[in-house]
């Protein structure tokens, strides 16, 4: 996959993101939030991949700062588990749980860079969507915020989803190529 997109990666161990580089993404990396913000301000990027647990400044704080400067830049947050504070997702476009594996992260990055988002929803609609997805047991799927919430609702209902459930399973298991 030759994408030529530049990803800003703020992660305690950027080596864990090597699959993104192997699939054609240029990576600009930082290991903490302060360095990440400095790097973000110094160069253009197409998207941001940020780890939630960074230490002093968590990923949600950094994502909020990035969105204030450039609200159009998509942000994917990596978390050890789905149970993070709800307000941590307000500035991110997608959440990927690390246990889903690097191929799921790759698919999510590809998706947010190549699929035009739907119209933004209000916070009440997003909250209802997240509750609906939890009831359906979809916690291991990418939880999307903002415009992609419409896409997830369609996927949960099996209508007009960009990928079928089988394709998502293949992505998660690392058996799919773009």
% helix / strand / coil in the chain, to the nearest 5? 45, 15, 40
Q: What is the pLDDT of residues 32-81, one digit of tens each?
A: 888 888 899 999 999 999 999 887 778 888 999 899 989 999 999 998 87
To which H or E segment does residue 165 belong? helix 165-173
Residues 22, 7: Cα–Cα separation, whole Å: 13
All structural domains of the chain:
6-173 (3.40.50.2300)
Q: What is the pLDDT of residues 99-144, one digit of tens each?
A: 888 999 999 999 999 885 554 555 565 666 555 545 444 434 443 4
Q: Residue 62: helix, strand or coil by DSSP?
A: helix
Q: What is the pLDDT of residues 131-178, one digit of tens each?
A: 554 544 443 444 344 344 444 444 444 444 455 667 666 666 666 555
Q: 34-43: long-range contacts at Cβ-Cβ below 8 A with a sequence spacing of 24 or more? A: 35/10, 36/8, 36/10, 36/62, 37/62, 37/65, 37/66, 39/8, 40/8, 40/66, 40/69, 41/69, 43/6, 43/8
Measured CA to CA in angstroms, residue 80 lies from 25, 84, 99, 111, 132 at distances of 23, 9, 7, 21, 22
pTM above 0.85, yes or no: no
């Amino acid at each position: 996959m030759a994408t030529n997109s530049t990803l800003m990666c703020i992660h305690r161990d950027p080596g864990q993101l090597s699959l993104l580089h192997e699939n054609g993404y240029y990576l600009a990396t930082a290991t903490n939030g302060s360095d990440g913000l400095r790097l973000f301000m110094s160069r253009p990027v197409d998207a941001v991949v940020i780890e939630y647990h960074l230490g002093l400044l968590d990923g949600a704080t950094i994502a909020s700062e990035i969105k204030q400067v450039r609200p159009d830049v998509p942000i994917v947050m990596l978390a050890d588990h789905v149970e993070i504070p709800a307000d941590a997702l307000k500035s991110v476009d997608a959440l990927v749980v690390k246990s889903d594996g690097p191929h799921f992260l790759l698919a999510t990055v590809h998706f947010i860079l190549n699929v035009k988002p739907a119209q933004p929803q209000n916070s009440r609609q997003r909250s209802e969507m997240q509750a609906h997805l939890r009831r359906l047991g979809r916690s291991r799927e990418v939880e999307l915020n903002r415009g992609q919430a419409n896409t997830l609702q369609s996927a949960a209902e099996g209508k007009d989803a960009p990928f079928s459930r089988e394709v998502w399973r293949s992505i998660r298991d690392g058996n799919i190529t773009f």
